Amino acid sequence: MQSILNNKKLILASGSPRRQELLEYSGIIPFDKRVKEIDEIFSPDMDITQVASFLAREKAMVFDDIAEDEVYITADTIVICEGKIYGKPKDKVDAIKILTALSGIEHTVITGVCLRSASETYVFDDISRVKIADITSEEIEYYIDTCKPFDKAGSYGIQDWLGVCKVEYIYGSYSNIMGMPMQKVYEELKGFCA
């Protein structure tokens, strides 16, 4: 599907292996990877539904050497439950707290995406809702010990044990919950690279 890029070079500016897999599955290849870490800081006064898009844009803006034929793609995923943002856990104790908070409650997953070229920046997002069944403390311990979800917003991956065995329902994009809403990304890239 290189043709949707209209001879542009796609640069995935993310260290996430899930985002890389999703781009590979989509057929939007080849692409290069370039990553610059940022402090994921946002104003406490910001509308929490805008945080993922804000951070995706911030991740794109650290690149100031974009060639005319390059398109950078960055993303940020957050989990929101009962008005609180849950990002990546700091450690096992934090992961236990987060999963305990999500147990039995529907939550929202928002992924913000930024497309950036030498002359244009475009940001969009996607929203999914997920209900995780009640999780026992033993299940939480098992999950954390076997799946090591320390690099995942909300302390879980929809594609691993918790997603397979404990998710009651999903409304919205599955790939959005993994970290990149590929249906929207595919369509937006077509327009951005036209």
**Mean pLDDT of successive 10-residue stretches along the chain, which has 194 residues:** 79 93 87 87 90 96 92 96 93 96 96 96 98 97 95 93 96 96 94 89
Q: How far apart are CA 182 and CA 173, in angstroms?
A: 8
Q: How far apart are CA 142 and CA 147, in angstroms?
A: 8
Structure tokens at 33: 């990877």
| 5 within 8 A of 28, measured Cβ to Cβ | yes
The whole-number pLDDT of residue 2 equals 57
Characterize the bridge pairing of strands 70-81 and 9-12. Answer: parallel
Beta-ladder partners of 71: 10
One-letter amino acid identity for 161?
W
> Choosing from 32, 69, 76, 91, which is the catalytic residue?
76
Outline where DSSP puts E strands in 9-158.
9-12, 31-33, 70-81, 84-86, 106-116, 121-132
The whole-number pLDDT of residue 60 equals 95
Outline where DSSP puts E strands in 87-156.
106-116, 121-132
Q: How far apart are CA 111 and CA 50, in angstroms?
A: 10
Question: Which residues, 6 or more positions from 53, have their beta carbon under 8 angstroms from its beta carbon?
Answer: 76, 110, 112, 113, 114, 123, 124, 125
Q: Does residue 76 have an active-site annotation?
A: yes
Structural domains of the chain in order of their starting residue, each with its CATH number: 2-192 (3.90.950.10)
The whole-number pLDDT of residue 1 equals 54
